[in-house]
Chains A and B, each alone.
Chain A
């Protein structure tokens, strides 16, 4: 049976690109490699012509759904439109072709990009220090946890401050990030309004707590109204406050984590700042920090002296590098282009559009689906698909595909049964939001009248519902050699 991969195509001897000829006999060149180390058998790679290759990957592209295809309300992932000029700019040869180990005098333009973006992000966060190195949000979290560790090490408190408090409405990556640095994770429950239970937090605080990791607004899309009380309590107990910035789209240009008591705040440039998600990455997760943590930031730091830019490595208390170079530079270029295009006014329009769209959809959909936390939301909200008997959230999600939409995030956050986490973003016109709402209403009707339609969905996708259990039971993770 054909695998559907590029290995189905081609014939021995075909190649997809022209290359220069060898100027010496092959055996002569191969003799530079000691015999015992020389490859005995060539790797099994496709042998295809360029037209075959292009058609194959275009076929794969057509089996995919991206933001450019249609509405992609994947909660917490901020699947907003990716501006095309930013793609063009990231491909400028003076950026994409630049080697990172050139001397600082030779990369002044690139350093200026880093510096300009740093200034913008520090301003947006309202925090004095920054590193652009983290390659993704979770990498930013890890960097933040390393900064916590260094801070307490310097204060001689590392031995006793072993716990990180984590609200049960925090992002999925947070607990794993804390664990990688050896912190013990303590879960803090939410109250019936969907926010941190401040009494429970107070009870958990003590001399053994290094800090808290907050997602603001949380994964229910709800803003922590008592954020100032929360951060003050943690600070008073000698702890630090980490803010997961994945949900910054909710208050961009209107509020700053630095003004809420954040000690570390990470950005997700691939979410808030419109850089493409790439089918899973690359993203970028720069982190801003409060004054006490500035000495511990990764090296190097970009500094401006007159109109020159310099790399500062002389930072003895630094945690060191978390990236071999300067972070995902081409992602940073795109984010800078986006911020410059929007300006202050545009940043505020983003959060207005995102929050308005989410509340609008929420109000429309709560008539048909259970809304566990019925209150003002920020950029996203969570419904439950638990009112349809045998039809589950998974079925609703798969049926949405037949209506031409990408499903929302499902079964997360864990605190809502049969969760459907919906984030429309600011880049969708009202007509699309309306069409999505109509589809959801139609699906709710189908769920009651003809549940098999949902159970067997999707019907129109390139494949029918896939058997995930089989892939776990008998993992086949590469194509076997013929």
Chain B
């Protein structure tokens, strides 16, 4: 008995009697006998709680990578998460509820969703935001589908420097929808080169900062696109100091919100951020909380514009998304509320300062150089004669970076990628540099 099911034999007998059955197996009499006969058990005995806890704890300790110092980014970052975030996430009424279909008993969820939407609009400089998508990659894919539905175009301009994992997911969705991805190169600074906007383009994607950590200049892009969408894929924490894409005429801003109060989690669950212009509101996928009043005129919140959604519009819905990434969005909300504008800026400035210090020290080493010359945020590619060897030296010193084979997927050969968050200490920075020194001597 697991402890999760309360029915005792007398309970079962009493309930069966009401149903008019004697044998509980008769409850499954409508499943073809042939099907039931073919069932094969897994061969798993029931386990007690302590056994399960030990088994999974052992597995969690088996991954040696957990002990490495993560100068590893590539879309998932090791930022500090205040204890208060998990405290709020652990409130049972918040995490054991579902989608707020019944608004009057879901004011907690609907209120924080509204807060979250406000914060996302503030960060991105956009007019409306939904209450989350699965992750940045699918948020981007949905933004592209939205651009296609709005403009009718079938070509998507995708810079080579887009995070390769994100690009792979986008490619899968694009193939499904019959869209074509067109590669755009980058220059020696690591910035986008847009020579022309072909006929039939539905969207241009820009990543800010891009996969190599390089800060893009978004000015003038929307003007060149006309009706086609400018979709900006952001690292939302960077928007603490970067001018929001909304100021540059972006049609949709999407991004990976893991950095806002969520741990790396071996890559999931993540948080898909999605914000757009009011004029595109009715084409936006996902849940939205809206303010209204109750029968006594008191302010309250409900799910707004549900007529866009799949359970009502069926095959004409803006998306099939139903379950989203709500709890990760709550983490982002609490994180941003705990930090406030000054705290957010502090986190970003600390990351920036430490990243640039490390970059300078690495460039000063003989044979080492930054692979791109553009301004960068908290991540940068390092080029050296033997990048594979350098990565190995770093691993031996207990440090993880993104190896050249992963960087090469975005079109940059012979470089490894270094990410520095505010969590990387002076001591860890020194250890990094000494490890490389050891590698060149």
Contact = CB atoms under 8 A, between A and B. Distances in A.
A88 B242 CA distance: 37
A439 interface: no
Interface residues of A, number: 204
A409 B101 contact: yes
Given A99-B264, A326-B267, A276 B96 contact: yes
B253 interface: no
B39 A255 contact: yes
Contact of A256 (B16, B39, B175): B39
A94 B60 contact: yes
B190 to A, nearest CB: 13
Contact of A255 (B35, B84, B135): B35
Interface in A339-363: 339-347, 349-353, 355-357, 359-360, 363
B7 to A, nearest CB: 5
Nearest to B318: A176
Interface string B108-139: 11011011011101110001110110111110
Contact of B323 (A13, A270, A321): A270
B427 interface: no
A6 B305 CA distance: 24
B138 A38 contact: no
Interface stretch (A57-65, A384-392, A441-449): A57-65
Contacts of B7: 353, 356-357, 426, 429-430
A426 B5 contact: yes
Interface in A290-312: 298
Nearest to B330: A279
B290 A475 contact: yes
Given A44-B122, A93-B60, A345-B46, 8 more contacts: A93-B66, A100-B264, A103-B65, A126-B39, A175-B310, A281-B327, A340-B52, A475-B288
A333 B268 contact: no
A105 B403 CA distance: 14
A415 interface: no
Interface stretch (A26-34, A197-205, A234-242): A26-34
B70 interface: yes
B63 A48 contact: no
A220 to B, nearest CB: 12
B290 A463 contact: no
B102 to A, nearest CB: 5
Contacts of A253: 39, 41
Interface in A21-68: 22-24, 26, 29-30, 32-34, 36-40, 42-48, 50, 53-54, 57-58, 60-68
Contacts of A60: 94, 107-109, 111-112
B47 A428 contact: no
Interface residues of B, number: 199
B11 A430 contact: yes
B171 interface: yes
Contacts of B406: 101
A117 to B, nearest CB: 11
A442 to B, nearest CB: 19
A376 interface: yes
Contacts of B119: 43, 45
B336 A356 contact: no
B337 interface: yes
B389 interface: no
B20 to A, nearest CB: 7
B268 A328 contact: yes
B66 A7 contact: no
Given A68-B92, A427-B4, A324 B347 contact: no
A464 B65 contact: no
15 contacts: A4-B300, A4-B301, A5-B111, A14-B340, A16-B338, A42-B342, A91-B86, A102-B63, A109-B59, A175-B315, A176-B314, A177-B320, A280-B109, A281-B327, A376-B30
Nearest to A465: B295
B298 interface: yes
A135 B30 contact: no
Given A34-B215, A42-B341, A429 B28 contact: no
Contact of B219 (A36, A48, A280, A471): A36
A256 B322 CA distance: 25
A20 interface: yes
Contact of A466 (B44, B80, B121, B302): B302
A44 B326 CA distance: 22
A352 B23 CA distance: 11
A289 interface: no
Contact of B2 (A48, A254, A341): A341
Interface in B140-184: 145, 163, 165-166, 168-169, 171-173, 175-178
B338 to A, nearest CB: 4
B121 A478 contact: yes
Contact of A324 (B97, B165, B289, B292): B165
Contacts of A72: 97-98
